[in-house]
């Protein structure tokens, strides 16, 4: 009569079933998670070890080393076992450290949001171009960054400036609060500053009695403009292109061949208009399709938000995304 022990000894060894072992992907994942858990435990010990007893610190350090060794040797079973042990130790002795980590993440996110808000308030802000009044410099659907720091620091949501580095210059493209409606922002080009005498006759700009240097470029140029914002209807138009130069800034303006309004200014028959103190006179580069200072007067300096810098995204018209405009400097 044989014993139970002898019967078990006579049984053949179990044959591994194909597919039951961990896959290579599972091994890699366990190794990665094990090393990550070990790093987390060592950071927690470094920051909060003084709050634990020496025996507890030694135990956690020993299991952490055990986990790192198993993971580096790619011993899957030992790695998983060490992860379970270390996770249990952290849960029992370092739960407060995990709460501190959550607070640290929350503080980091809060600080990032605060920095973003400060940058938006004082340094750079993003704007979208909704109309074609600045074509070809800026097209409908261009997204631009505006330098709010260049002219000085303004208290957010007010027109009060507590630092002023310099005043806006002729030729610069600016974003400003529309004088007739403080809830709207406009973007135009400065062509004259305080004390300048302005005149526009037959699409030619005069500053202080002198014709602004300009060169008419050959032929009519096609361009796409949004004619109805409600329906999203676009239309192809044609215009003459003229290169102007103001205060050393060279840029292109466009003029329709047969506009309904030619844009002569002043419209009251006087010879010129003098820009008042602390103000600028602005025009759109799309001269026959721009609602600007010729209609509602000058822009007070306190209304200016900043100087247009660069196009960071552009989409619209039948072309969709306009990749060639990305990074386009606003000049």
pLDDT digits (tens, 9 = 90+) for 140-185: 999 999 998 898 877 777 777 777 788 999 999 999 999 999 999 9
- According to the model, what pLDDT value does residue 133 have? 94
pLDDT digits (tens, 9 = 90+) for 121-130: 678 889 999 9
Residues 82 and 70: their CA atoms lie apart, in Å, by 8
Q: Could you list the active site residues?
A: 133, 188
Determine whether 326 is exposed, middle or buried from the number of CB atoms within 10 Å of its CB (0-12, 13-18, 19+): middle
Q: Is 312 left (phi over 0), alpha (psi -120 to 50) or beta?
A: alpha
**And the tokens for 20?**
């039951």
| Sign of the dihedral through C-alpha 26, 29, 35, 41 | negative
Distance of CA 216 to the CA centre of its chain: 36
The DSSP letter of residue 276 is P
Give the count of beta carbons closer than 10 Å to the beta carbon of residue 137: 23
* Domains contained in the chain, CATH given: 22-121 (1.20.1270.10), 123-325 (2.10.109.10)
Determine whether 198 is exposed, middle or buried from the number of CB atoms within 10 Å of its CB (0-12, 13-18, 19+): buried
122: helix, coil or strand?
helix
pLDDT digits (tens, 9 = 90+) for 235-247: 889 999 999 999 8
The DSSP letter of residue 40 is H
The residues with which 240 forms a beta bridge, in sequence order, are 220, 255
| Average pLDDT value for the chain | 85
Residues 20 and 237: their CA atoms lie apart, in Å, by 70
Q: Does residue 16 carry a pLDDT above 70?
A: no
């Amino acid at each position: 009569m044989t014993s139970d022990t002898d019967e078990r000894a006579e049984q053949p060894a179990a044959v591994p079933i194909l597919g039951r072992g961990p896959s290579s992907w599972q091994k890699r994942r366990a190794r990665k998670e094990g090393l990550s858990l070990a790093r987390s435990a060592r950071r927690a010990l470094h920051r909060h070890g003084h709050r634990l007893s020496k025996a507890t610190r030694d135990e956690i350090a020993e299991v952490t080393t055990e986990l790192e060794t198993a993971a580096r040797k790619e011993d899957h079973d030992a790695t998983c076992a060490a992860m379970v042990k270390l996770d249990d130790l952290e849960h029992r002795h370092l739960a407060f450290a995990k709460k501190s980590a959550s607070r640290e993440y929350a503080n980091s996110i809060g600080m990032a949001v605060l920095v973003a808000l400060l940058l938006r308030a004082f340094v750079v802000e993003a704007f979208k171009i909704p109309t074609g009044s600045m074509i070809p410099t800026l097209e409908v659907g261009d997204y631009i960054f505006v330098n709010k720091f260049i002219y000085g620091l303004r208290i957010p949501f007010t027109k009060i400036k507590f630092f002023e580095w310099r005043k806006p210059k002729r030729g610069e493209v600016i974003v400003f609060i529309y004088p007739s409606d403080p809830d709207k922002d406009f973007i135009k080009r400065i062509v004259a500053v305080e004390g300048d005498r302005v005149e526009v006759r037959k699409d030619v700009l005069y500053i202080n009695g002198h014709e602004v240097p300009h060169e008419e470029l050959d032929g009519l140029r096609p361009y796409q403009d949004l004619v109805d914002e409600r329906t999203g209807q676009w239309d192809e138009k044609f215009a003459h292109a003229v290169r102007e130069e103001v205060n050393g800034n060279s840029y292109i303006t466009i003029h329709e061949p047969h506009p309904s309004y030619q844009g002569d200014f002043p419209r009251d028959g006087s010879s010129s208009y003098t820009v008042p103190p602390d103000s600028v006179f602005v025009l759109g580069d799309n001269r026959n399709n721009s609602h600007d200072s010729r209609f509602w007067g000058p822009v007070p300096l306190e209304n200016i938000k900043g100087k247009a810098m660069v196009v960071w995204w552009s989409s619209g018209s039948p072309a969709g995304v306009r990749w060639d405009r990305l990074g386009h400097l606003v000049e």
